[in-house]
Each structure stands twice: as C-alpha cells, then as structure tokens.
Amino acid sequence: MAVGKSRQEIPRPLSTEPNLLGHCLLAMGSRNYVPTRFTNRTPTIIMTTQAHYPIGTPGQPWSDTDKATWLSLQTRKRSYAEEVLSKIDRLRDRFDVIEYDRLDYASDGMYPLFAIRSRDWRDDLPCVLVTGGVHGYETSGVHGALQFVDRQAADYAGRVNWLVVPCVSPWAYERIHRWNPDAIDPNRSFRENSRAPESAALMRLVAPLRDRFLVHIDLHETTDSDESEFRPALAARDGKPYEFEVIPDGFYLCGDSEAPQPEFQQAVIAAVAKITHIAPADAKGQIIGTPLAAPGVIYYALRELGLCASITNAPYRTTTEVYPDSPRATAEQCNAAQVAAVCGAIDFALAQQAVAAA
C-alpha cells in the first residue's frame, strides 16, 4: 500500500553508514542505486542523499524504452500454477470456483484468473468480498485469502454469500513485483476504462454485485521492499524525486475516508491483535505519512486513488497491511493475521446487522 500515494513532505535523511545498506537489490545491476532497509524498529536512519534508480533519466518520466528495460529485468521467481492454482484446485470439491477472466501476457504466457465463492448462494444473504494479490508480491494477501476459504469460510454458510479473489495480479505474483508488465500499479487503477487489465477484470466480475456487498476487505502487505525497490522505481517511472518513508513495524488498516466506520476498523484491529502486533505511529503520530486516526488505522480517499477497496459500495470496507519483514512475525502469522482480519470484519458486520434488525 505504502507506495506512491500523496503524502506530506518528509525530510530526506542523511547518509551515515552506506555500507550497511544490504537489502533486496532485485536484480537491478545498479551503479549508483542503493538498496535500503528501513523500519521504525531501527531508529538509526541510513540513506543516500542521491538515491537514483538505475533506469531512466532523473526528472523525466520513463519512455517506452525505459519501460522495456525495466520489463527485461523482471524474472519469474515463483509459480502461480504450483503455489496458487494447485491450492484453488483442492478447494473445488467444497466450493464453487469460477475462472472470471484471462490475462494474455504474450511470451510470459496466459494467466487464468479465478474467484472462489460459497455454494448455495442466496439472494437474501449479505455478500462479502475478499480480494488478495492485487499487489502480487504481497504474499500473505494471496495465501491468507486462500487460508480463509480453506479453514474458515464454511463457518459462514447460511449467514453470508462470500466471494474470494485470491490472486488478482498473478504475473506480479510470479515476479514478486508490484506492477503489471506495463509498469502499471493495479492498485491505483480501479477506475472506469482502467489501463490495468487485472483491475478491469476484477471490476467486471464484481460490477453486478456492487451494491449487494456488506463487507469488502482487500488484503495487502507493507514491506521493506517498498522502500528498497518499489517507491524508488515509482519515483523514477514518473520522473519525480524519491522521498524516504519509514516502514511501520506491524499490522495496520487503511480505511476509506469517505466511509470511515471507526468501530468496524477497531474491531478488525482487535481481531488481528490476537495474532500479531499492531503498528505504532511514528514520531510524528503518522503511519506512512498519514496521521493515525485510531490505533493501527489510517484513512485514504480510496475511490479517488483508484484503490481496490473502493470497487463496491459495501458499507464496511478496508485494506489490510501486514508487515511480513518484522522479526516478530512469521509467514504463518502473516497469513493468520489476514484470516483474522477477514473473520473480524465479517463478524462485526453481521453483529451490526443483527443489532439493526432487533
């Protein structure tokens, strides 16, 4: 999430110990690009004053040639078929699996897109949407969504209709990247006539149910690689200066400033806090440059930013941000935190409905 939103100006930290900057170069082959690792658990800030991404010309947006250079450096690092589709296949005997679209990425192949939904869909039940892998590199979003289906979704039979889209951006899942092959961020592209086919396909899937959803929870991570790779890449792509941001150590939520639902957000935080730690605010009372509204909660204008959690009119909507690089969180905890967030969101919404009906 923490990449490329508008944010307050943050003073550029000074370089003090450049030799300590060893993290996640992601095959960039840089001359003067310096990968970094920053979190607010390491208060000694280390930074080059002239961090320059190795593609493009500083101050100028990428040309098509620059984008092609970037694309040529992206390699397949893991398998969507082996890690994701195999898990989806094992759910077919219990739930309905729908291939809702395909992405044709030429020499990189064809990527079928799948949604899983509850059987015995009933028009009188509220609907829940869970999306993961909008950012393909955010692994617990994908596997947390699948884990919810496998272990928890049956508990909601007869209470909600649920639709889970576990891996919206499979090309990026394989490359452990944020963008699609056109160097477009799907999670800034949930708009009419979207240029990102990943976003457009999901919007087409959801459109008929847009007003039927009670809950939409979109599963993400904020990672160290946001600062070491993705935000520098974004700044370079757009010809803008790169501004350092502290990565928060812990889980947080990004709600919709147009529909804040603070009690809902707090209920989700409380559910996740049983699994993993919640991110504290930084010294400015902020998380990634945005003032903390409540413990672990910030708000964005989701629709204005073209974010996935804006694609329905669900009254209860939010974006999870798991921090997988924490020394205090395992991969299993990250998946479990996503599942806890989903269950906490559904449970709160159903309880509110019950109160309203009483």
| Smallest separation, CB 20 to Zn ion (Å) | 27
Decide: is 1 part of the binding site for Zn ion (CB under 5 A): yes
| Smallest separation, CB 232 to Zn ion (Å) | 16
| Smallest separation, CB 3 to Zn ion (Å) | 8
| Smallest separation, CB 208 to Zn ion (Å) | 26
- Cα–Cα distance between 218 and 2 in angstroms, integer? 14
| Smallest separation, CB 246 to Zn ion (Å) | 17
49-57, 60-68, 213-221, 232-240 -> range binding Zn ion (CB under 5 A): 213-221
- Residues 187/177, Cβ–Cβ less than 8 Å: no
Q: Which is nearer to Zn ion, 117 or 177 (CB)?
A: 177
Residue 29: name the closest of 75, 60, 65 by CA: 75
What tokens does 307 get? 């974010």
Q: Which is nearer to Zn ion, 78 or 151 (CB)?
A: 78
Q: Which is nearer to Zn ion, 1 or 46 (CB)?
A: 1
* Residue appearing with tokens 């003073």: 11
Length of the chain: 358
Residue 21: name the closest of 222, 224, 175, 177 by CA: 224
58-66, 73-81, 136-144, 189-197 -> range binding Zn ion (CB under 5 A): 136-144
297 — phi, psi (to 5°)? -130, 125
- Residues 225/26, Cβ–Cβ less than 8 Å: yes
Question: Please, where are the H alpha helices in 239-330?
Answer: 262-273
Q: Tell me which of 52, 135, 175, 237 binds Zn ion, using CB under 5 A.
A: 135
Number of residues that bind Zn ion (CB under 5 A): 4
Question: Where on the chain is the footprint of Zn ion (CB under 5 A)?
Answer: 1, 135, 138, 220
